[in-house]
Amino acid sequence: MANNKKNILFVCATGIATSTVVAEKTMEFLHENGLDADYVQTNVASLPEYDKNDADLIIATTEVPYETGIPVIRALPLITGIGADKVLNDIKEAIEK
């Protein structure tokens, strides 16, 4: 079976604070659901350096003002807790594609 592991790019304003929290919650959720992915954290200003060959999905806690060709999921609900389950399920669906 081919390695179908997805690459996720976690993005926040600095690439440190909220992206770390969201990455931990997301990776734990994916693991609990039997899914695996590789990931990188970065700041939003670095996004133009990435393209669809670098990542399958961007999970962002800040506005993404660039066109990257990579699907973006807004993950602020994973910080606030309001709507977090829907965001996690959206991420799961994107990883399973």
Catalytic one of 8, 11, 12, 57:
12
Q: State which amino acid sits at residue 14.
A: T
> From CA 52, how far away is CA 55, in angstroms rounded?
5
Please confirm, yes or no, whether 50 is among the known catalytic residues.
Answer: no
Give the HSE-up count for residue 22: Cα atoms under 13 Å, Cβ half-sphere: 32
- The half-sphere exposure of 42 on its side-chain side, counting CA atoms within 13 A, is 16
Residue type, 34: G
Which residues belong to the active site? 12
